[in-house]
Amino acid sequence: MSLKPVKLAFLTLVASAAAASAQVAYVSDGPGNQPWFTSDFQNAMSTVFGSYQDDSFTQAGTSVFNPANKFIFIDGGGSTAGDFDNYFNTPGVVTALQNWVAGGGSVYIDGGRWPVGDGLDVLNVGFGINLVEDDNYSYASYTGTAAGPSPIFNGASGTSWSGNYFSHDVVTADGATPLIYTGDNNISLAEENYGAGHVMVGGLVAPTFQSSGGYALLDNILGYDAGLASVPTLSLLGAGIGALSLFKRIGSARRKS
């Protein structure tokens, strides 16, 4: 029996598994209640990735944190803030998210929230990082400034922005690297390597309410963060190359015999 059909079938299987392993997902409040009542975030996912998995907080649960997804964008801005808070306060969600990132996934968590209840709202999103806002909008900022060089500031993004507002929440974290500062020198976007993966957390509002560079900034954030995932297709392709070598040795041995 010829090994060619076997090799072809195996390579097809490897290629199919590789394609399936490099997925991206967007998690928010579902089609009927998008953050800020705009499709900005869905449009950005389409622009950067083409196709993507679109889940609500209820649909996503912890199942979205699976090896088939390499990048996840979670947004809970504007009117979705209450459900966003409930999602991260659901037992098991933060732990599952941290484990998924530690295994090589990359996540962007954005929470430019409207006030949830009275007083201060400190939301633990994992990784030792909190999002902070209050009912007086005292952490909201009309401006944002790049903290230093980063690929997310390339092209039309620029390095300074304005808006009404530009951001609502601030980010507090001991180990994260600031990327954007608010007008009050608080952090509105930060990043951190976590295990084999990467996390970005911000309090930015939708680009509709920001200066023109906001759209390019969002696109850059998504592309940059997704690019830092430890893509599982690499191990699959490595296995495929090893298998090809084995097929060659078997074929060579058969010809000699």
Token duo for residue 156? 């039309």
Q: Is residue 241's pLDDT more than 60?
A: no
pTM over 0.85: no
Distances (CA, A) of 65 to 35, 73, 74, 129, 192: 21, 11, 12, 18, 18
Quote the pLDDT of residue 116: 81
- The domain limits of the chain are 23-231
Around 43, how many Cα atoms within 13 Å sit in the side-chain half-sphere?
A: 11
Q: Evaluate whether 42 touches 31 at the Cβ level (below 8 Å).
A: no
Quote the pLDDT of residue 22: 56
Residue of 52, 74, 64, 202 lying closest to 141 (CA atoms): 202
What mean pLDDT is predicted for residues 170-174?
Answer: 94
Q: Is residue 75's pLDDT more than 90?
A: yes
Query: What does pLDDT average to over the chain?
Result: 85
| Sequence-ordered strand ranges (E) for the chain | 23-28, 53-56, 69-75, 106-110, 120-126, 129-134, 141-146, 160-167, 170-173, 177-182, 187-194, 197-202
In CATH terms, 23-231 corresponds, of 3.30.230.80, 3.40.50.10090, 3.40.50.880, 3.40.50.2300, to 3.40.50.880
Least confident range of 55-64, 147-156, 159-168, 224-233: 224-233
Least confident range of 76-90, 114-128, 229-243: 229-243
Residues 87 and 63: their CA atoms lie apart, in Å, by 13
Looking at this protein, which amino acid is placed at residue 194?
Y
Residue of 38, 1, 11 lying closest to 206 (CA atoms): 38
Residues 225 and 200: their CA atoms lie apart, in Å, by 7
Q: Is residue 218's pLDDT more than 50?
A: yes
What mean pLDDT is predicted for residues 45-67?
Answer: 95
